[in-house]
Amino acid sequence: MPEPRPPSAWIARFAPLAPAGSPVLDLACGSGRHTRLFLARDHPVTAIDRDLSGLEDVAGQRGLELVQADLEDGSPWPLADRRFGAVVVVNYLWRPLLARIVDAVDDNGVLLYETFALGNETFGRPTNPDFLLLPGELLEMVRGRLQIVAYEHGYLKQLPAIKQRICAVRTDRPVALYHHAPAAAICAVVSRSKVCSASKQPSLKSSSGMRSSSSSFTSPLASCSMKDACRSYGRTSGFSCL
């Protein structure tokens, strides 16, 4: 079985906003790269997909609930009124579910949603407008319901693709802001070796272009260490940070 790809840098960046130990929903989880990320952060995870074959290696792991369901066949929503400390949706869009997805975010919980947007058809799949977000669509989805922490819409050169992504929370209080450098930097240095060597201190380039020989980046409101980010990639996936 091929190893899952590393998690999205957007999801890794904001994963710490899920309240400690709270349950996480990974909707249309695929091979579970975000399921693994949150399991490694000691969250119980409910992973849903119509095809769970990419999760065979972690099936039965403590804290993991696998739900095999077709989310688009008109069947009732498989989670009833359950709420989660984090709801994660990446590279999946089925508009009839959007209200359900917001409903599933618990008090103080976080919604992390990232998928392709209109214009992506220039670069590759998906090309069907049914599966491409309109400008501002994720903002509209949460307006008046969640507090927006971060939102982006644009061209991602490294894929390349047009993507839209949001981080929004169900609280009126300010939340910690996480610097984006650790996740992005670690994406660049993730390898398939089996040891997560947080003790090594790589020279990483921050968004400001400054080089750091330290293992942590500090923002005015929060710090995110290399060790935390390594953990977020997960012992389960075997990814390591060199």
Ligand X SMILES: C[S@@+](CC[C@H](N)C(=O)[O-])C[C@H]1O[C@@H](n2cnc3c(N)ncnc32)[C@H](O)[C@@H]1O
Binding site for ligand X (CB under 6 A): 28-30, 33, 49-51, 70-72, 90-92
- Is residue 101 within 8 Å of 79, Cβ to Cβ? no
Name residues whose C-beta falls within 8 Å of residue 94's C-beta, 6 or more positions apart in sequence: 71, 72
Which lies closer to ligand X via its Cβ, residue 67 or residue 198? 67
Q: In what order do the strands lie in the sheet with 45-49?
A: 64-68, 45-49, 24-27, 84-90, 105-116, 161-169, 147-156
Least Cβ distance, residue 216 to ligand X (angstroms): 27
Cβ proximity of 159 and 168 under 8 Å:
no
Please say whether the beta carbons of 137 and 115 come within 8 A.
Answer: no
Retrieve residue 114's tokens.
Answer: 């990232």
Instruction: Answer for the pair 69, 92: CB distance below 8 angstroms, yes or no.
Output: no
Nearer to ligand X, 92 or 239 (CB): 92
Q: How many residues in the chain?
A: 242
Q: How far is the CB of 201 from ligand X (least distance, A)?
A: 30
Closest separation in Å from C-beta 203 to ligand X: 29
Please say which residue, 3 or 107, places its beta carbon nearer to ligand X. Answer: 3
CB of 133 vs ligand X, minimal distance in Å: 14
Q: Would you give the DSSP letter of residue 19?
A: P
Nearer to ligand X, 25 or 28 (CB): 28
- Residue 15 or 29: the one with the smaller Cβ distance to ligand X is 29
Task: State the nearest-atom distance from the C-beta of 211 to ligand X, in Å.
Answer: 31
Distance, in Å, from the CA atom of 17 to the CA atom of 170, rounded to the nearest integer, reads 11
What is the smallest separation between the CB atom of 30 and ligand X, expressed in angstroms? Answer: 3
Matching residue, tokens 């929503």:
77
Rounded distance between C-alpha atoms, residue 68 and residue 66, angstroms: 6
DSSP conformational letter for 222: -
Counts of helices then strands in the chain (DSSP H, E): 6, 13
Closest residue to ligand X: CB criterion = 30
- When the beta carbons of 50 and 143 are compared against ligand X, the nearer one is 50
Shortest distance (Å) from residue 22 CB to ligand X: 19
Nearer to ligand X, 1 or 20 (CB): 1
